[in-house]
Amino acid sequence: MAKTKQQKEQEIQQLVDRIKSAKGVAFISYEGLTVGDTTALRSELRSQGITLTMIKKRLLKIALEKSGIKDAIIDDHDKNVSVAISGTDEVAPAKLIADFAKAHKTIEFRGGILESAFIDGNQVKALSKLPSKEELLGKLVGSLASPMSGLVGVLNGNIRQFVGVLSAIKDQKA
């Protein structure tokens, strides 16, 4: 059943609201996936707080224009487009889809949105290879803690050596 103009406008407005509040957006095409694989992809994304929505390219283009995203090139292929949107992490949609695409070669990045600017499919692939926010924070904490743990090790070494010298002196006098 065809959608009415009002339903299409409502769908566009919902997508505009989600894009404006999103941290990370990836556009993909996944023709050729089985229903089971598509369901698995959706549930994996949903478990990380990412929604995957299929939308007509013409409606997506209108939603992007209303969101203030300029120069978006979405309709250069005949394939359908789906939108993966994360409200919490910039890298998560690209990373999860890239991991899923390793086992399913039919998934193709078509573009994305990062910091309110359109990026092409190759840039989304590059984004998917970056470490997640949690990994980067962990590396930062490790880098900050490293000098302190080194200092503690040096101070403990001096105390250990001092105790060793005192023990040797005690053994000589005994």
Instruction: State the Cα–Cα distance between residues 57 and 110, nearest whole angstrom.
Output: 11
Rg (CA), the chain: 26
pLDDT per position as a tens digit, 41-75? 888 888 888 888 887 878 888 888 887 777 777 66
| 77 has pLDDT over 80 | no
Residue 76: per-residue pLDDT:
60
With a CB cutoff of 8 Å and minimum separation 6, the contacts of 61 are 72, 74, 75
Residue 68: per-residue pLDDT:
78
With a CB cutoff of 8 Å and minimum separation 6, the contacts of 107 are 28, 29, 30, 33, 41, 97, 100, 101
Instruction: State the Cα–Cα distance between residues 123 and 129, nearest whole angstrom.
Output: 10
Q: What are the helix and strand counts (H, E) for the chain?
A: 6, 5
Instruction: State the Cα–Cα distance between residues 76 and 68, nearest whole angstrom.
Output: 20
Averaged pLDDT, 120-132: 82
Residue type, 145: A
Does pTM surpass 0.85?
A: no
